[in-house]
Structure 1
Amino acid sequence: MPLPPPPPEPPPPAAEVFAIAMPGAAAQPTRAPDTDQLRTENATGYRPADDATKPSGAPVRMGLILPLRSETLGAAAEALRAGFMAAWERDRDNITITVVETGDVAQDILSSYAQTLEAVDLVVGPLARSAVTAVATSPLVTKPTIALNHPEGYGTANATPLPQQMLPMGLSIEEEARQVAQWAAAEQPGASAMIITTSTPWQRRIAAAFAAHWQQLGQQVRMVELSAPNNYLSDPELVQLRARLQQDPPGLLFSAMGADQTRQLRGALNSGLVHEADEPVISTADGLPATPAAPVAPTGFAALPLYGTSALNAGGGMNSPTNELDGVRLLDLPWQVQRDHPAVMVYPHPVQAGTADMERLYALGIDAYRVAREISRKPAGRFSIDGVTGRLTVDFGQGPARFERVEQPAVFQHGVPQAVQQ
């Protein structure tokens, strides 16, 4: 079932992204700073959206615009480039890729975008939110452009409509939080929610998105913002929170925090509930312990449903070997939690393990190529892809472009998130 449209929200600050450098593809793409270098031999003109579908195998030119010269986003751009080229290597389909390097300056990016348009049929990029905003508000978008982020103000009531030829498909932590709210409401109908966050900007954005969607669904919500000096949750505030939960427990908890802080939260809440049945029973006969009691269902705070986002999954073998998060529900990309997914299995994984954020950008590059290839063959229409970043639905070339990504539900088991059916 398609998700309801996101509620209007205040413009969020620019998202932080992290990535790793990946080994280059077997066949390196052209890197071109100017128009002359952007020219390729097997070029065809761009087909308007109302033309017939381009036959498979017809030459297509794609330009991949990434901030590879940026000090802050260069590594992120390289990770995404590696994923994009890995997908191209597997299914070239007579498609020529030209990689265009940019920096962080808006004018540099606009100039590179304008030059690229003259020599390609379709553009993928830019990556930075500010760069996507600069392109979206310019009159330059005359050919299909797949943006790798969302422009500033996207989804708000007063947002400027995007050019019809632009499709933003970046990973969105706000959209992920809204999907978690939808999932939690389906599993816990009528329940109230308590959101736990800190003052960290990205956590506040997650918390606000969950709260707005939860209220849109007609559910009650409370928000608690904890202090976190040196990224460690305040012990006195955790004690106060535990007392508050005992007096007025919600139907569920939503953590807008990362794995370490959520693990600390859960440990603090559970340690405050010690029942007589939980105390060890020692037999005096022969000085041996009594037979262990049979496992019992979780009680108290341990039984309170706890939801979170992909921020709970550190990935890359970096999850804690302990089980504090067992039973916690989250959403993440199939690339991270569903390694037996058909699409995940067919693409190479980076040799060098990195953090989950790094791996997600690599996966985004794979799906960006798959979406670009589909649009290049069918410039107008609606299609779906079972992608490595989720179930993707795209409507392009028939008015304003629409994109939806539904991520994979998972539950922590033995310290590792395992995919589940929703």
Structure 2
Amino acid sequence: MSGFTSATAETVQSPVPHIALLLPLDAPGLGSAARTVQQGILAAVQNSALPVRAYSNYDETRSVVAAYKIAVASGAVAVIGPLTRNGIRQLADEKTLPVPTLALNIIDTPAPPQLYFFGLAIEAEARQIALLAKKQGKQQAIIVTANDPLARRLQFAFEAEWTASGGAILREIEYTGDTMVFADIAADPSTMAFFATDIEKSRTIRPYLPNNLAAYATSQLFSGNKDTLLNFDFDGIRFVDMPWLMQTDLPVVAAFPRAYPPLTTDQERLYALGIDAWRLINNLIANRAKQALDGVTGQIHLNGQTFTRTALPSLFYQGHAQAADAPLIQSAQLFPDQFKNASSVEAPVTFKP
């Protein structure tokens, strides 16, 4: 069994071989996310020969390298972290790193050997959606966006991949609160709409687009299957997300325990990130970095020094989000007073997509 201890950034502990977690567990604004990632990592630790030790008393804006050196001096044979792009850049500026290091975010700058990247960059989902829509025969795209940083990042990521794959951009529509900008949109079999907007704006916009217009989005539109009303509003929209949320009976997913008390959907994603981070760092230690991983966050492959994640194609159907290739489940109608009596409600019917 593995052990788990904590260390401060001011103290070099007696050298003991271990896997170090470089996570800002107590940092304002970052601590909650870091603790959830740590929770996922520890859920994945099974019969490890190496103990796990957390290093958390450091500043991600300026003292990552100092904390990293303390971890290595204390016997770390591998490191998971840091969590933020700013923290990762500090390590990337080093000429060499002595042990395999898995940063939990992705940056584009050159990195020293032994520094690897893995994260849940939502821009990668936008690029995957572009390729998915093209594969499904769409030729031109309507991009629905907004004047905020995340929407712009998703818009640009989608458009770059879409045009590179030969797709045409029919329109870019910036939503500012006036739904009349969607009044003249018509459905066409070769056209798709991509939502770069957040969940609230997308929910407002969706009724103003033709029902038979193919619509796509990222995982930011999915907040869990408990929110049936919201999911009904997104009926028919295709998106990508992780098997951890969409295929809970999959053997690789069922192999790991769920958090208790239950987490929010966004926290579940971070928890799953921790699970796959643990599996990847062990592959790095064993010199199996190039081995593809059937992850709980998706299919993972090494590309250069970045572990790229292919998320699971999914869709909203009758108030429920599910894997796109799963049988479609027709749920009972939402409002029971639509039925004359309770006996008229039939059991769910399974359809083949």
Structure 2 distance, partners of 1:349, 1:140, is 37
The aligned counterpart of 2:207 is 267
Distance in 2 (CA, whole Å) between partners of 1:64 and 1:121 is 11
Q: Give the one of 307, 316, 326 matched to 1:403.
A: 307
Task: Give, in whole Å, the separation in 2 of the partners of 1:247 and 1:362.
Answer: 39
User: Sequence identity, in percent?
Assistant: 31
Q: Secondary structure at the match of 1:403?
A: strand
TM-score calculated relative to the size of structure 2: 0.85
Partner of 1:239: 180
Match of 1:374 among 260, 263, 283: 283
SS at match of 2:259: coil
1:239–1:106 Cα change, 3 Å? closer
Q: SS at the partner of 1:353?
A: coil
Contact 2:145–2:196, Cα closer than 8 Å, also in 1 = yes
Unaligned runs of 5+ in 1: 1-25, 44-60, 155-159, 228-233, 270-300
Moved more, 172-181 or 317-326: 317-326
CA apart distance, 1:218: 1.5
The Cα offsets for residues 112-170 of structure 1, whole Å up to 9 and x where unpaired, read as 0111122211111000110011111123523211000113xx1xxxxx32112111001
Aligned-partner Cα distance in 2 for 1:394–1:248: 38
Structure 2: 5+ residue runs without aligned partners? 327-353
For normalisation by structure 1, the TM-score amounts to 0.72
Which has the larger strand fraction?
A: 2
1:182 maps to 131
Which segment is superposed worse, 260-269 or 324-333? 260-269
Distance in 1 separating the partners of 2:179 and 2:11: 62
- SS of 2:301's equivalent in the other structure is strand
How far the C-alpha of 1:351 sits from its partner, in A, is: 1.9
| Distance in 1 (alpha carbons) for counterparts of 2:62 and 2:163 | 41
Structure of greater relative contact order (alpha carbons < 8 Å, 6+ residues apart)? 1
What secondary structure does 1:76 align onto?
Answer: helix
SS at match of 1:320: helix
| Residue 66 of structure 1 pairs with residue 23 of structure 2 | yes
Aligned to 1:320: 229
RMSD, matched Cα: 2.3
- Indicate the residue corresponding to 1:143 in structure 2: 99
SS, match of residue 116 in structure 2: strand
Question: Letter of the aligned partner of 1:169 in structure 2?
Answer: F
Relative distance call for 1:352 and 1:414 in structure 2 (3 A) is farther
Equivalents in 2 of 1:98, 1:125: separation in Å?
12
Q: Does the CA-based 8 Å contact 2:118-2:306 persist in structure 1?
A: no
Helix, strand or coil at the partner of 2:52 = strand
Deviation at 1:329? Answer: 0.2
- 1:95: how far off? 1.8
Q: Which residue of 1 aligns with 2:34?
A: 77
For 2:88, the equivalent position in structure 1 comes to 132
Q: What CA distance in whole angstroms lies between the structure 2 residues aligned with 1:319 and 1:193?
A: 28
Q: Which is higher, the Rg of structure 1 or of structure 2?
A: 1
Q: Does the CA contact (< 8 Å) of 1:316 and 1:353 recur in 2?
A: no
